[in-house]
Amino acid sequence: MSIKVLVVDDSAFMRQTIKKILQEDPEIEVVGVAVDGEDALKKVEFYNPQVITLDLRMPRMDGLAFLTKLMKTSPLPVVLVSSWAREGTEETLRALELGAVDFVTKPSSEPSEEIWQIGDELRDKIKAAAQVRVEQIRVLPEKKIATVLPTLEKSYLKVLAMGASTGGPRAFHYILTHLSADFPLGILIAQHMPREFMEIFAARLNGLSQLRVKVAEEGDMIYPGTVLVAPGGLQTRLVKKKEPDGSESVRVHLVREKKLYQPSIDEMFFSVAEIYGDQAIGVLLTGMGADGALGLQRLREKGALTIAESPETCVIYGMPKVAVELGAVDYLLPLTEIPDRICVLISGQKFPP
């Protein structure tokens, strides 16, 4: 049975071109098109699509307003088709936080034949989105900041390393906004995302959370309460360095090494495992594929505490599932429980796996 798709775009050229691109695949059927958010809400009810492609900038009701209403009334997997422009990047990240499952960037901000360049990527992401269960993409509940217990200052733990792919921006938003400003560990995160998005992704998290968030640079040190985001197009590793005063520090070392993922969650986890061993917590969140699973296994072998997001909240239960199958996971938890569990583990309390 083919995947039923609704295409939402205010450009007649883009609507028809995206329709043609998708229907090159016999497994995909475009059941309808919509000119803006208001039109799309009516078409969703009429056509009952499985996946929606969504432009963000439209008259009457734009993509963000449409997403907000859709996720409250009848959530469906949404793949964004957005521009590289800075404004488009910020809107794309906001849409991912609202529940869109993935995005494809237009080669040009104006309607053009260049849109055919994203054909394979768009079709693949439509197929992945069709596997998402709708109950997993509802807006996450609000909750209080996770509290770290008083014994925290004596904790032997030094670093929290987290990785995600599809659905990651929303997951990182949730976790980081539920950690307090006095969080005692340094934090590293790796998110599968084009490098052009990383600066704005980090800036957005920095503005929303109580922690300091920035894109990692060569030589950065690991500081409590500071989040370093692995840059796109590079691999983020850690190295020990002798300082002028004779002390030893841990610093970021960026490597231009081509792998399937840039950044690779596995590469970051492997490095954290070698440098920090049992002084680390590793967290593997939602995403398609297997990146991060072997790295989480290495962390656990080195004595680190490991957490994976459970299927109840994963947009795609791919990477965590592989980690569980490898025996790499101490705690399998829904996203809504992960911030509290991190803080309680730091305090020294233990839970049964």
Query: In angstroms, rounded to a whole number, what is the distance separating the alpha carbons of residues 90 and 259?
Result: 27
What pLDDT is attached to residue 150?
Answer: 45
Average pLDDT rounded to a whole number, residues 73-93: 81
Report whether pLDDT(151) > 60.
no
What pLDDT is attached to residue 351?
Answer: 56
Would you state the structure tokens that stand for residue 233, as one six-digit string?
A: 């197009």
- 82, 83, 165, 310: the catalytic one is 165
- 291, 310, 330, 347: the catalytic one is 291
Q: Are the CB atoms for 130 and 50 separated by under 8 Å?
A: yes
Whether the CA torsion 97, 285, 272, 262 is positive or negative: it is: negative
291 is catalytic: yes
Please write the tens of the pLDDT for every residue from 85-129: 556 788 888 898 888 999 998 876 666 677 888 899 999 999 999
192 is catalytic: yes
- 10, 178, 192, 264: the catalytic one is 192
Average pLDDT rounded to a whole number, residues 295-311: 97
What pLDDT is attached to residue 160?
Answer: 98
More confident call, 315 vs 159: 159
Domain 3-136 belongs to what topology? Answer: Rossmann fold (3.40.50)
Look at 57-71, 103-117, 211-225 and tell me which has the smallest mean pLDDT: 103-117
Would you state the structure tokens that stand for residue 238, as one six-digit string?
A: 């850690």
Report whether pLDDT(262) > 70.
yes
Look at 145-149, 180-184, 207-211, 327-331 and tell me which has the smallest mean pLDDT: 145-149
Average pLDDT rounded to a whole number, residues 150-179: 85
SS3 287: strand
CATH number of 150-346: 3.40.50.180
What's the mean pLDDT when you consider all of the chain? 89
What pLDDT is attached to residue 50?
Answer: 96
Please write the tens of the pLDDT for every residue from 7-55: 999 999 999 999 999 999 999 999 999 999 999 999 999 999 999 999 9
Residue written as tokens 């798709």? 5
271 is catalytic: no
pLDDT interval class at 349 (50, 70, 90) = low
User: Where do you find CATH 3.40.50.2300 in the chain?
Assistant: 3-136
Q: Are strands 248-255 and 235-242 parallel, antiparallel or unpaired?
A: antiparallel
What's the pTM value of the predicted model, to 2 decimals? 0.88
